[in-house]
Amino acid sequence: MSSPATSSDREKVVSKLPGWLRQNLKIRAAQHGIEIQAAVEQGIRDWCSLASATATVDTAGADSFSTFLPPGQWEEFRQVVTDRGISLIQGLAQSVQLWLDANPAPDVARPEVTRRIIVCNQKGGVGKTAITAGLGEALAEDPNALHAVRVAKALAKALRASDAHPDDAPTNDPLDIENLPGLGLRVLLVDFDPQCHLTNQLGATPLPMNGDSLTNHMAGDPKGDLRDLIVSIGDTPFGGRLHLLPACNDAFLLDVRLSAVRAREAALERALAPLEADYDVILVDCPPSLGLSMDAAAYYGRRRDGERPGQSGALIVVQAEDSSADAYELLTTQIDDLRGDLQVDIDYLGIVVNLYDSRRGFIATSSLQGWVDIKDPRVVGLIGDLKEQKEAVRMKQPLLSYAPKSQQAIGMRALAREIA
């Protein structure tokens, strides 16, 4: 453990603690946003004030553990341990367990209104599907485990450095990485693209053409309950919190079928509304289209009555090259027109620059700077063009379970927190 900034008025102490207890302490302190040393200090203080020792803790396999405590506390603690006739290791273990019992894991912060995030761009090939999957995985990760996250200041540094020093973005500096608890949200990924990329990448099976589908529900011709089509993704790393509504090739006909539907802009909302109570976040992987289906997706992401700005809306995925800029203009024009025509608020949640590689030279670095200069919406994610995402797709596994410590996984977690 590194010395805190106030180490000059604290003393380093070394003892032993069982690995499982040390890990629980590390996770719980992170969940409460405090230093481990502060938790140990409080635990020792409370334990020493008790009339007697607490229940015995199994300290088998205890290993070296060090922390910083106020001057004199360790000596006082050693005296109490001696008076109670137990070992120093047992006393420390009881103190830590006492703090854990007094500070249970906090409940997951759930939104009052189910968040609806529309991942979109008119241009294909920018990686909308990868961002949808990675963001959903990051939102659903275990809240009782620690995961490597690139902190917000690191993203800002990478974006500043990208212009003058292209090789610095995205950053790989370990000092810019924090281990934080997962967000633990219940997430539904909706594959809204007839090409079924999200469905295939996550190892699920596209829905058959002669069965039920999201298209049928949007067109007013359901053949069953939409819940029956949902599949769970990666139960072990995501604890059953990550689900997928697979796509069907019949979505190629969606615009034609929607043309005969009344209030067609609300078709996606009518289909998904019955599912919203089961989820904290619904992410929609949109097709590279500016048709009626995109109108329905954008409308679904509009800000609802009582919903805070920036909770739901459009997350735009681009690349650092010129054609993405052209597609961006087309998409934002469509969304802005929909805003005006229907008098609704559709928030932009930000821009994600995906598949970035500064080695592509001036085109990449200058394009990245162009995205940064937009300011509104701002760049909320910078994801490198690295091999782990391609490997995860080939293996049909979620990126954050296939390569949880990769720079892309770290960036996905940063993105999840940027738009939280």
Tell me, letter by letter, the H, E, C secondary structure of 25-37.
HHHHHHHHCCCHH
Domain annotation covers residue 1: no
95, 167, 345 from 305: Cα distances, Å: 48, 45, 10
- Report the distance separating Cα 315 and Cα 116, nearest Å: 10
In a domain? residue 410 = yes
| Domain end among 52, 68, 102 | 102
- 49 and 177 in one domain? no
- Say which residues have a Cβ less than 8 Å from residue 23's Cβ, sequence separation at least 6: none
pLDDT at 170 over 70: no
Written as six digits, the tokens of 392 are: 């995860």
Residue 265 has pLDDT above 80, yes or no: yes
Asked whether 209 and 215 are in contact (CB, 8 A), the reply is no
Summary mean pLDDT of the chain: 91
Q: Give CA–CA dist 384/309, Å, rounded.
A: 29
224's tokens:
């069953």
Residue 391 in any domain: the answer is yes
Q: 274-283, pLDDT tens digit by residue?
A: 999 999 999 9
Q: Which amino acid is at 215?
A: T
Question: In this structure, are 166 and 251 located in the same domain?
Answer: yes
157: tokens are 């540094």
Residue 108 placed within a domain: no
Residues 349 and 252 in one domain: yes
Q: Are the C-beta atoms of 206 and 252 separated by less than 8 Å?
A: no
End-of-domain residue from the set 75, 102, 129: 102
Torsion of CA 303, 309, 314, 319, to 10 degrees: 170
SS3 assignment, position 194: coil
Instruction: Assign residue 191 the CATH number of its domain.
Output: 3.40.50.300
Same domain, 325 and 267: yes
Q: What is the pLDDT of residues 41-70, one digit of tens each?
A: 999 999 999 999 999 999 999 999 999 999
Note whether 142 and 270 are same-domain residues: yes
CA-atom Rg of the chain in angstroms: 25
| Rounded (5°) CA angle 185-187-193 | 155
Q: Which residues contact 73 (CB under 8 A, 6 or more apart)?
A: 41, 44, 45
Nearest partner of 168 among 183, 178, 157, 179, judged by Cα: 157
Closest CA to 145 of 392, 397, 401, 383: 401
Element holding 316 (H helix, E strand): strand 313-318
Cα→Cα distances 227→110, 186, 198, Å = 21, 15, 18
Residues 186 and 309 in one domain: yes
Query: Which of 64, 80, 102 is the C-terminal boundary of a domain?
Result: 102
Cα–Cα distance for residue pair 292/256, rounded to 1 Å: 9
**Which stretch of 327-331, 403-407, 411-415 has the lowest confidence by average pLDDT?**
327-331
Q: Is 239 domain-assigned?
A: yes
Q: Are residues 364 and 317 in the same domain?
A: yes
The verdict on 64 and 160 lying in the same domain is: no
Instruction: Based on the fold, state whether residues 76 and 134 are members of the same structural domain.
Output: no
Task: Reply yes or no on whether the pLDDT at 156 is more than 70.
Answer: no
Residue 107 lies in a domain: no
Q: Say which CATH number the domain at 42 has.
A: 1.10.1220
374, containing H or E segment: helix 362-374
The answer on 265 and 198 residing in a single domain is yes
Question: Is the pLDDT score of 151 beyond 80?
Answer: no
Report yes or no on 110 lying in a domain: no
- 75/154 same-domain check: no
Domain of residue 19: give its range.
7-102
Domain count within the chain = 2
- Which of 316, 400, 319, 389 is closest to 354 using CA atoms? 319
Verify that 56 and 186 share a domain, yes or no. Answer: no
- Residue 281 falls within a domain, yes or no? yes
Local confidence band at 258 (pLDDT 50, 70, 90 cut-offs): very high
Answer yes or no: is pLDDT of 210 > 70.
yes
- Going by C-alpha positions, the residue among 52, 61, 57, 68 that lies closest to residue 97 is 57
Given this model, what pLDDT does residue 289 score?
84
